[in-house]
Amino acid sequence: MKPIISIIVPIYNIENYIEKCINSILEQTFPHFELILINDGSTDHSGEICEEYAKKDIRVRVIHKENGGPASARNLGLDVAKGDYIGFVDGDDYIDKDMYELLYTLALKHDADVVECNLKIVKNGHIEIKEDQGKIEVGNNLFALKGLLEFPIRNSPVNKLYKRDLFNDLRYPDKLYEDGFLAYKVYYKLNKYVFIETGKYNYIKRKGSRMDKQETYSLRNLDGVESQEERYYFLKENIKDPYILKLAEFRFFKDIYNNYRGLQKNKHVDPDKIYRDDLRKKINKNYSGFFTNYRLSEFKFYVKISHYNIFIFDHLYKLYRIYFSTLLQVKRPMSKVKRRLRNSFTH
């Protein structure tokens, strides 16, 4: 029998997590799926563990490949998938047993191209509680794109069910932020999107994962700027909704700004200021849009000085950062004094 859903799981050196992940999928209340495990060149026992599951359950397919990263693993899974719908799960996460039954039921009910449930963040075994009233939102591609821009975590392909034909001409690029390069293109193509507030996907936040902000700065982080830039110009050309465009513009600038800060703190990776100058040029190129964007009012100084060369820009940037930090240090004690004064008058 042809599977209805193809669930793709990229796997790389996660022998301590993979069994919980696979078990949570095989225990789904919706049984009509194939589980495609892509062993991305693991050097631990992850591959052997996957093979043991394949011996026990005919729904499990294991493919071994040389290490190429999660993008190449997902792409291979898409190439061999047989289901009408696609789901992605990361190999160190796990899902609630009724996740795919819920998503598939909503897909049929609303004739939806993409259905998404909420994420639950799990850290040190503790689940971060999020508002969960089962609220359901239904909309078109513009509605989906607004949600994607308002909540960047929605770029992730997990916790969703996709109609497979959305990926007919789309694949993940071999870059650090591969999700950001593809999500908006998928959402642009869809006709109907459903989001349910209920959390059914358990994201394990562990040291070394992408969501862990303790990682040191790498030039590969600039892939994020590239994805934001591509998305901004794509939407500018294809979407006329002013709210969406201003939000995409805001996200683009913030990624430029955050990467500039990262390079400032790690000057050894950019000793000749080549990458910082490239970021400055991106600001200057989009001067009018950034300067008039109401979401960027606190960053107008950086936009204003972007027409200077990198050495002047860099110097002014550092001076303004010092000034701004000093101002905050003065404001914080003053705000405490004001609160104490207000409290003294109310008691």
Token code pair at residue 119:
């994420």
What per-residue confidence (pLDDT) applies to 321? 76
Hey, how many other C-beta atoms are within 10 angstroms of the C-beta on 131? 8
Q: For residues 179 and 328, which has the higher predicted lDDT (pLDDT)?
A: 179
Q: Lowest mean pLDDT: which of 35-39, 106-110, 130-134, 137-141?
A: 130-134
Per-residue pLDDT tens for 100-112?
999 999 999 999 9
What per-residue confidence (pLDDT) applies to 337? 43
- What's the Cα-to-Cα distance from 103 to each of 130, 311, 343, rounded to whole Å? 19, 53, 50
Sign of CA dihedral 301, 304, 306, 310: negative
Asked if pLDDT for residue 44 goes beyond 60, the answer is yes
Share of the chain above pLDDT 70, in %: 90
Tell the burial category of 336 from Cβ atoms under 10 Å away from its Cβ (0-12, 13-18, 19+). exposed
- Which of 177, 181, 173 lies closest to 231 in space, CA to CA? 181
Per-residue pLDDT tens for 254-304?
999 999 999 999 999 999 999 999 999 999 999 999 999 999 988 888 899
pLDDT confidence tier of residue 342, bands split at 50, 70 and 90: low
Contact (CB, 8 A) for 224 and 255: yes
CATH class of 5-204: alpha beta
Torsion of CA 69, 255, 219, 214, to 10 degrees: -80
What per-residue confidence (pLDDT) applies to 345? 44
Per-residue pLDDT tens for 308-339?
888 898 888 888 777 767 765 665 555 554 45
What per-residue confidence (pLDDT) applies to 1? 81
Q: Is the pTM of this model over 0.85?
A: yes
pLDDT confidence tier of residue 39, bands split at 50, 70 and 90: very high
What per-residue confidence (pLDDT) applies to 346? 52
- Mean pLDDT, residues 36-65 taken together: 98
- Would you list the domain boundaries of the chain? 5-204, 219-332
User: Which residues have C-beta within 8 Å of that of residue 115, sequence separation ≥ 6?
Assistant: 103, 104, 106, 107, 160, 161, 193, 194, 195, 196
What per-residue confidence (pLDDT) applies to 319? 85
What per-residue confidence (pLDDT) applies to 336? 55
